[in-house]
Amino acid sequence: YLHHGYSKTILHFDLKSRNVLLDESMTAYISDFGIEKFIVGHKSSTLTTTLGTMGYIAP
Protein backbone atom coordinates (compact mmCIF):
# COMPACT_ATOMS: atom_id res chain seq x y z
CA TYR A 1 0.00 0.00 0.00
CA LEU A 2 1.36 3.37 -1.02
CA HIS A 3 0.52 5.13 2.26
CA HIS A 4 1.52 2.40 4.72
CA GLY A 5 1.25 3.63 8.31
CA TYR A 6 -1.06 6.53 7.44
CA SER A 7 -4.35 6.44 9.34
CA LYS A 8 -6.62 7.55 6.46
CA THR A 9 -7.28 5.84 3.15
CA ILE A 10 -6.39 7.92 0.09
CA LEU A 11 -7.52 7.12 -3.44
CA HIS A 12 -5.43 8.60 -6.25
CA PHE A 13 -7.47 9.06 -9.41
CA ASP A 14 -4.76 10.45 -11.69
CA LEU A 15 -1.58 8.64 -10.67
CA LYS A 16 0.71 8.14 -13.65
CA SER A 17 4.39 7.44 -14.17
CA ARG A 18 5.38 11.07 -14.73
CA ASN A 19 3.99 11.95 -11.27
CA VAL A 20 6.20 9.42 -9.46
CA LEU A 21 9.73 10.47 -8.50
CA LEU A 22 12.45 8.03 -7.40
CA ASP A 23 15.39 8.85 -5.14
CA GLU A 24 18.83 7.19 -5.26
CA SER A 25 17.47 4.26 -3.19
CA MET A 26 14.57 3.78 -5.64
CA THR A 27 12.06 4.99 -3.02
CA ALA A 28 8.97 6.33 -4.80
CA TYR A 29 7.47 9.74 -4.05
CA ILE A 30 4.29 11.17 -5.56
CA SER A 31 4.84 14.63 -7.02
CA ASP A 32 1.27 15.62 -7.95
CA PHE A 33 -1.79 15.38 -5.72
CA GLY A 34 -4.12 17.10 -8.20
CA ILE A 35 -6.95 14.57 -7.91
CA GLU A 36 -7.28 12.49 -4.77
CA LYS A 37 -10.00 11.58 -2.33
CA PHE A 38 -9.68 10.90 1.37
CA ILE A 39 -11.97 8.12 2.56
CA VAL A 40 -13.08 8.78 6.14
CA GLY A 41 -14.54 6.05 8.31
CA HIS A 42 -16.35 3.07 6.85
CA LYS A 43 -19.02 4.95 4.94
CA SER A 44 -19.51 3.80 1.39
CA SER A 45 -19.61 6.36 -1.36
CA THR A 46 -20.36 6.28 -5.04
CA LEU A 47 -18.36 8.23 -7.59
CA THR A 48 -20.62 9.28 -10.45
CA THR A 49 -18.10 11.11 -12.63
CA THR A 50 -14.94 9.86 -14.30
CA LEU A 51 -11.74 11.38 -12.90
CA GLY A 52 -8.23 10.96 -14.24
CA THR A 53 -6.29 10.84 -17.48
CA MET A 54 -7.47 8.54 -20.25
CA GLY A 55 -4.97 5.71 -20.68
CA TYR A 56 -4.04 5.78 -16.98
CA ILE A 57 -7.39 5.09 -15.31
CA ALA A 58 -8.43 1.56 -14.40
CA PRO A 59 -10.99 -0.10 -16.68
Our answer to whether residue 14 is catalytic in this structure is: yes
Residues 6+ apart with CB under 8 A from 15: 30, 56
In degrees rounded to 5, what are phi and psi of residue 22?
-115, 140
Farthest-apart Cα atoms in the chain, separation: 40
Kindly name the residue from 6, 7, 12, 14 that is annotated as catalytic: 14
Query: Would you name the residues annotated as active-site residues?
Result: 14
